[in-house]
Amino acid sequence: MNVAKLVTLLLLSLATSAMADDELRFSLVKTAQSDGPGDYSWRNGSWEQPEPVHHLALLIEYQGSRLLFGTGLGRQINAQLDAELPWRAKRYSLVVPVRDQLERDGLKIDRILLANARWDHASGLADFPDVPVLASAKAIDYSQAATPPAVLPSQFAHSVRWQPLQFDARPVGEFSQSLDLFGDGRVVLVPLPRAGALGLFLTLSDGVRFFFRGDTLGEPEKLKIQPGGLQSWREVAGSGFYPGWVQAYASHSESKSNPQPDLAQGNDRCFPVSAMTGAP
């Protein structure tokens, strides 16, 4: 192979890599799963066992940046609970912290978006002590004022690098305020009413939008329909967790007729996820 061809291939490779860095993609990272309290409830004419809770974080890559929306359960979750709620039963399964999963693949985080300050969403903050944490002013106040079991002060005992968010009076769907992180409408935060939690809109290159609520991420959902007809975390989880990525839209029929069973085994290809195209 001559030098000119080698140079051409190298340039093409660099261009492809740059395009991949610029393109928006995301992945649900599962850190653990908790069983329900064990109490059955009467629904639809029969007794039903409570659904499990998935302790999730959302990994986002865009324009060379890598963000975490929430952290799930972290490396120190057992010590955090033992220090402040030693009597509380630990109903979660084996914990695989976000940091461990990312370090395995050589990935580093640039910023953390504090989706929710509650203990089961913020446990992993202590695993990233040097990473800036973007949060609403209300969430920062809540993390410092609330008491166990809602918030565990030990999860915020390190010197958190807070970066308070300033929302704009720019409506997005049913939300009167928003913050466009990259200025192009692709990654947009909105304030939620409970304890300063955040909502997150992600828009793929083909216009398909997803919406994630920081106050219910990973929890059994009471509402099946999201604002604007958007799909929730449950739809994404149905196709697999990290290291699978969501990057391109595929219709629901295509997703059903062409399953991707190998994605949960470490395949780095993006996988098809059904989503509504209604924009808020």
Whether residue 245 lies inside any domain: the answer is no
d(CA 69, CA 112): 6
Instruction: Specify the pairing of strand 162-164 against strand 179-180.
Output: unpaired
Domain membership of residue 110 as a residue range:
23-36+49-232
268 pLDDT more than 90: no
Summarize pLDDT for 131-153 with one digit per residue, the tens: 999 999 999 999 999 999 999 99
Tokens describing residue 147: 């008491």
d(CA 109, CA 67): 6
d(CA 189, CA 100): 26
Q: What is the CATH number of the domain that holds 194?
A: 3.60.15.10
Whether residue 275 lies inside any domain: the answer is no
What pLDDT does residue 8 have? 37
Whether residue 257 lies inside any domain: the answer is no
Whether residue 256 lies inside any domain: the answer is no
Mean pLDDT across the chain, nearest whole number?
Answer: 79
Summarize pLDDT for 36-95 with one digit per residue, the tens: 654 445 455 665 566 788 999 999 999 999 999 999 999 999 999 999 999 988 989 899
16 pLDDT more than 50: no
| Strand residue runs (E) in the chain | 25-34, 41-43, 46-48, 53-62, 65-69, 111-113, 133-135, 162-164, 179-180, 187-191, 198-203, 209-213
Whether residue 264 lies inside any domain: the answer is no
Backbone angles phi, psi at 178, to 5 degrees: -160, 170
> What is the domain count for the chain?
1
Tokens describing residue 29: 């990272």
Residues across the chain: 280
Whether residue 144 lies inside any domain: the answer is yes
Whether residue 254 lies inside any domain: the answer is no
What pLDDT does residue 271 have? 36
Q: How confident is the model at residue 212 (pLDDT cuts 50, 70, 90)?
A: very high
d(CA 266, CA 241): 10
265 pLDDT more than 50: no
Whether residue 188 lies inside any domain: the answer is yes
Please answer whether residues 214 and 199 qualify as being in contact, where contact means their C-beta atoms are separated by less than 8 angstroms.
yes
